[in-house]
Amino acid sequence: MFVGAGDEAFLERQYLDLKYAGVRDVAPGALDGARGVRVTYDESRISFEELMRTYWRRSEPTRSDGQFSEVGARFAPVIYVANADERAIVERARDDLEASNVYGAGAKLTVRVLDGAPETFEEAPERDALRANPKKYAKMLKARDAAFNRLWGFVQFCADRVCGYVRFAPNCKTTCLKVFPEYEARNAGIPDIDAKNIKITARN
């Protein structure tokens, strides 16, 4: 699996965190010149679709000119698909997320979806740079975490003067829940924050 979205150190760390679930190796590098990672995984333990959920949660697929403060074609989001099944998974998720407006009303997902593997993959000389050089990435990581928490974090709130409610990924509604069904299960029975008499007490 080859994917890119900004500085490869960020996606590398996200996929390394899935080693317990079946990811075998994550190699950062250049995918035909674009920054990204090669993810090797055990298909009997974790699926391509599950790995793509991490990608959607940790990228800005609406940006065609880079990611956050990293601007330029080499930082633009890209997904390589190995076959028709993988393309169908990516395109279905892309269309469902776009239709749901989770990234903003009318926001278009402009991530490139390319067939096959990159013609060239140049592995970066350093592995797990995010952990090896935390100060170098601190400012960029802070901006990313803030943006991703707004999308996929949680809110605590009161509804009709009853407090203590928690809703996860509150903007993930309608077709977004086809991509992330776990949020529908986690939010079952919890009032919507768009309802009346809602008071937000905390966000993360």
Confidence check: pLDDT of 195 > 90 = no
Task: Round the CA-based radius of gyration of the chain to a whole number and report it.
Answer: 18
Extract the tokens encoding 136. 């170098």
What letter represents residue 60's amino acid? E
- The span from the CA of 13 to the CA of 26, in Å, is 8
Q: Is residue 40 classed exposed, middle or buried when 0-12, 13-18 and 19+ CB atoms within 10 A define those classes?
A: exposed
Work out the percent of the chain whose per-residue pLDDT is above 70.
100
The CATH H-level (homologous superfamily) assignment of domain 2-140 is: Peptide methionine sulphoxide reductase MsrA (3.30.1060.10)
User: Tens digits of per-residue pLDDT, 146-174?
Assistant: 999 999 999 999 999 899 999 999 999 99
- The span from the CA of 51 to the CA of 39, in Å, is 9
What letter does residue 117 receive in the DSSP assignment?
S
What letter represents residue 78's amino acid? V
- Whole-number pLDDT of residue 21: 97
Lowest mean pLDDT among 43-52, 79-88, 148-157: 148-157
Confidence check: pLDDT of 204 > 90 = no
Average pLDDT over the chain reads 95
Confidence check: pLDDT of 108 > 90 = yes
For the chain, what are the domain ranges? 2-140, 153-203
Extract the tokens encoding 78. 């890209």
Confidence of residue 60 (pLDDT cuts 50, 70, 90): very high
